[in-house]
Chains A and B, each alone.
Chain A
Amino acid sequence: MAKVKNWQIGRDMEYPIAHTPPKKQVTYIFDINKCIECQTCTVACKTGWTSGKGQEHVFYNNVETKPYGGYPQQWDVKLLASRDLVKWKRGTLTTPTIFEDHAPLDPPTGHRPTEDDYASPNLGEDDIFGRVDRGAHVDGQHPMWMFYLARICNHCEHPACLAACPRKAIYKREEDGIVLIDQERCRGYQECIKACPYKKTFFNMVSRTSEKCIGCYPRVENGEVALCVESCIGKIRMHGFSVPNAEPDPKNPIDLIVKIRKLALPLYPQFGTSPNVFYIPPIHVPEEFLEQMFGPNVHAAKELYRRVSKDRELLGALLLFGASTRIITRFEVQGDEAVGWDATGAEVARVPMVERAFERERFDEKHGTFRHNLM
């Protein structure tokens, strides 16, 4: 066991392997307030990477409905239910992580999904929490709620899959922090599947090895965003980098949103893997539920999101979501535009701070007809 820093839980923690953080860490932000669960990301990823034999159940990317959905089924609920209640004290996790709550010779605390758990990716889809009783009506805000949770591998700073692999077949790349399974070395023991709290490693019964989200590394090496990010029609995703344990850079949109404004939060930080997909929590969902999922900063993040129009820098960063197929590493708000540059210094995005609207003449004289202006 080694002592490692975990800023997401506000303290150092025990981790089975001593390691140095990567030079930079691939990081994603998902604004799930905007997600409509169209699954375009899922299809883009599936078509691009996992259409092989034995990969039928492999979804590097999936979108599920909370609170009842999950792929594999109950991936998170099973782990939560098997562990003690989580406690935070002023931003510090006081209960043990999955690396700290077991005997020294045991792998990280986890569970292994069954075949049936992989059988119905859409179970629970669009199910709401609460019941629509007779006489129910909308009075300002819906009393029922649900939300869509888009998920990929978190390319964790302290991966449980990597810690659990007895063959050391899983590695975290020094150059960008992407976590990969060495397909030459894996012998299919499925320890990673049991250990990953997000269940984003999968066993391929044809290759007889485990496989996981590759972070679209061939694209990242060329400065391009992942397939799931590029294909997102709702522009809910931003793909970038952050430097671990460094002073956050306010010109880096990822750092501004995650580390400076703290608008986007990690998924289940209490597990201790320090995940690198950050979620802007859905503002209509009760905080009791969100705190379990995103940690103790949910209230502040929701409040900030409600008044984001008053924070021009933050708004500028958010407007660059889905604005380019290139990875934006630096941005600025210039007048009424937000501008993004990639790692080569090329300008790759320029978006207006306020969406331009045009009002056309009501009567089209050329065609002799009336027009409708739709907002």
Chain B
Amino acid sequence: MRFLALFAFVSVLGCGAPPGGKAPAAIGTLPPASSPAARSASGSVSASASANDVAVPSGTFAIHIPPSAKWPLELAAPALAFGAEQTTLVAERGTAAIAHIEPLASRWSTAPFVNVHLLPQQITAPRLLASSIPNVRVQALHDGESIAFRLVWNDDTPNGNVASGMFTDAAAVQLPIDAAASPMMGHPGGRVQILHWKALWQKDQDVGFQDVHTLYPNIWSDLYWFSPSAHPHPVQDIAADPYGRAWLIALSAGNSVALVNRSTPAQELIAEGFGTLTAQPESATTARGVWFDNTWVLVIERPLKTADPLDAPLSSGGKTQAAFAIWNGGDGNVGARKHWSAWVDLEVAK
């Protein structure tokens, strides 16, 4: 299926795929010179097609996003490679810096992975009745300073918008703060830390904040009180105005889901049972997700050691657990309507 999907991707863009249903590239090999990957080298997307990698100057994101970019980004479809399959998630230690590691960095291609099985959440209300994401492949790397998780799962449609009845793809990594915390978002006295990423926030980063006119280009409104600018009244302008900001109620109330100038598509949260999920005011977690070839590839990363008592303790040579959750926005997944896993043993290599 990935073979066919790759062909479709190329042919839709009119990039010289031969007729007759034969794709120009096999899985694991590079697309031809006229493919989007090669075009991207000329500037629209700087992902390199010359290696199964995105060259990453340490500390920066290499994928440059032009303001006019479509979303999801027109990335080349490099072959995804993994190390050996294991049952325990081992975060191998490397010498290269982990901070801001790209989802397609070459180091992932040798890191061992765990194929984590996901179940639709049916323990508490509201339930997810049918599963659409049966598994997620998870890897981990660290450098003694930061730890990164790479989550790879199949999803035919990238959903990065929210509106009435419209939901975003998302993923989460859960780590226990207190030993023996329930994998189901902890329990009273058994706290968990949750590192959360949303495609919505990723899209905010990649191509700009989802404003009303982004989704509804023909929208017209006679009145936005105290909007300092003209139609289409960008929400950032309103948020910057002390009077206009009062009309952004959740933002004024300090709700972190309402931020209009998010610095990372990730958020740190804690929970000790259903309904207790609480965002952390300080978040050292960063993330980056890319979608291509019906697949999300996401890296979520946090410092290994922190002074924050509400961060799950991690250390070189330490053993703990991790659990994972995936939301398929196109299938109406939101909140408790999600796919989740049991605890997976996690070893942070010395």
Q: How far is the CB of B320 from chain A (nearest CB, A)?
A: 26
B:242-276 near A, CB below 8 Å: 247-255, 257-258, 260, 274-275
State whether A105 touches B125 (Cβ < 8 A): yes
Distance, CA A113 to CA B219, complexed state (A)? 19
Distance, CA A185 to CA B250, complexed state (A)? 9
State whether B233 touches A53 (Cβ < 8 A): yes
State whether B164 touches A183 (Cβ < 8 A): no
Given contact pairs A167-B277, A187-B335, A203 touches B225 in the complex (Cβ within 8 A): no
State whether A189 touches B255 (Cβ < 8 A): no
Q: Is A166 an interface residue (CB 8 A)?
A: yes
- Set of chain A residues within 8 Å of B235, measured between Cβ atoms: 53-54, 206
Q: How far is the CB of A139 from chain B (nearest CB, A)?
A: 44
State whether A183 touches B335 (Cβ < 8 A): no
Contacting residue for A164 out of B126, B210, B212, B251, CB 8 A = B126
Q: Is B122 an interface residue (CB 8 A)?
A: yes
Q: Mostly helix, strand, loop or mixed at chain B's interface?
A: loop
Q: Is B1 an interface residue (CB 8 A)?
A: no
State whether A53 touches B255 (Cβ < 8 A): no
- Set of chain A residues within 8 Å of B127, measured between Cβ atoms: 105-106
Q: Mostly helix, strand, loop or mixed at chain A's interface?
A: loop
State whether B334 touches A206 (Cβ < 8 A): no
Most chain B CB atoms below 10 A, which of A55, A183, A203, A207? A207
Contacting residue for B258 out of A106, A107, A168, A209, CB 8 A = A209
Interface residues on B, range: 35 or more
State whether B163 touches A115 (Cβ < 8 A): yes
Q: Is A8 an interface residue (CB 8 A)?
A: no
Q: Is A251 an interface residue (CB 8 A)?
A: no
Distance, CA A205 to CA B274, complexed state (A)? 25
Q: Is A230 an interface residue (CB 8 A)?
A: no
Most chain B CB atoms below 10 A, which of A112, A183, A189, A191? A183
Q: How far is the CB of B325 from chain A (nearest CB, A)?
A: 14
Q: How far is the CB of A19 from chain B (nearest CB, A)?
A: 15
Q: How far is the CB of B22 from chain A (nearest CB, A)?
A: 40
State whether A203 touches B164 (Cβ < 8 A): yes
Distance, CA A215 to CA B55, complexed state (A)? 56
A:110-128 near B, CB below 8 Å: 112-115, 118
State whether B258 touches A208 (Cβ < 8 A): yes
Instruction: Name the residue on A nearest B224 (C-beta).
Output: A53
State whether A56 touches B258 (Cβ < 8 A): no
Instruction: Name the residue on B nearest A117 (C-beta).
Output: B164
Q: How far is the CB of B194 from chain A (nearest CB, A)?
A: 12
- Set of chain B residues within 8 Å of A188, measured between Cβ atoms: 162, 257, 334
- Set of chain B residues within 8 Å of A202, measured between Cβ atoms: 164
- Set of chain B residues within 8 Å of A115, measured between Cβ atoms: 163-166
Given contact pairs A115-B163, A187-B257, A205-B162, A107 touches B125 in the complex (Cβ within 8 A): yes
Contacting residue for A205 out of B210, B225, B252, CB 8 A = B210
Closest 5 CB pairs of A and B: A52-B247, A189-B335, A207-B250, A183-B253, A209-B250
Q: Could you list 17 A-B pairs, sorted by A, with CB under 8 Å?
A: A16-B125, A52-B248, A53-B212, A53-B224, A57-B164, A105-B125, A114-B164, A115-B166, A164-B126, A166-B124, A168-B275, A190-B334, A193-B164, A205-B163, A208-B200, A208-B257, A209-B255
